[in-house]
Amino acid sequence: MDKTDANTIWLTQEAYDKLQAELDHLVNVGRDEVTQRIAQARDEGDLRENGGYHAAREEQGQMEARIRLLQDMLRRAEVGEAPSDPDEVAAGTRVTIAFDGDTSDTDTFLLGSREVLGLDEAAEDINVYSPQSPLGSAILGKRKGDDVTYTAPNGRPISVTIVDVQPFTS
């Protein structure tokens, strides 16, 4: 894949393997389990008032949506190594930036994807920026201490300084 492709999802081999294992489980085990639950609920009689049937069908829909998402992510994945330089901004790192060089006006976020990094509902307070976003693409490959200017979606230039870069741990 071309590195400039905005649809590319950058993954380490470990992240790719984790997503592939989840997909394999959903396709080979999860589908059978939910199909069995639907069949059991169907055998109970009237489907209009069968809560177990409707719950199993809802679960099936959510699982199929997750399967499609994983298939799409893995199809668009570009597998690479985790950064060897701890001060380099890469997908999967926690980055702190200062706006216009003002160290009192900072933002700390994760550069990556919630799904890829395995973030759940409990991690909602962590801001996540895509490496393909204007900010993400501007800082990708830069180092701690670098000054970067990028164009915000409203067309305004924004200057930031990379204050800190750390590997993400969930």
pLDDT at 116: 57
Give the start-end residues of each E strand in the chain: 9-12, 77-80, 93-99, 106-111, 128-129, 147-151, 157-167
Please give the class, per CATH, of domain 93-167: alpha beta
* pLDDT mean across residues, the chain: 82
This prediction has a pTM of 0.60
State residue 149's pLDDT score.
95
- Domain ranges in the chain are 9-80, 93-167
What is the structure's pLDDT at 32?
95
What pLDDT shows up at residue 118?
55
Percent of the chain with pLDDT over 90: 37
- Dig out the tokens for 36 from the structure: 């069995």
* Cα distance between residue 82 and residue 149, in whole Å: 25
pLDDT < 70: residue spans in the chain: 1-7, 81-84, 101, 114-125, 168-170
The pLDDT score that the predictor gives to residue 47 is: 72
In order, the DSSP letters of 128-164 are: EE-TTSHHHHHHTT-BTT-EEEEE-TTS-EEEEEEEE
Is CATH 3.90.180.10 the classification given to domain 9-80?
no
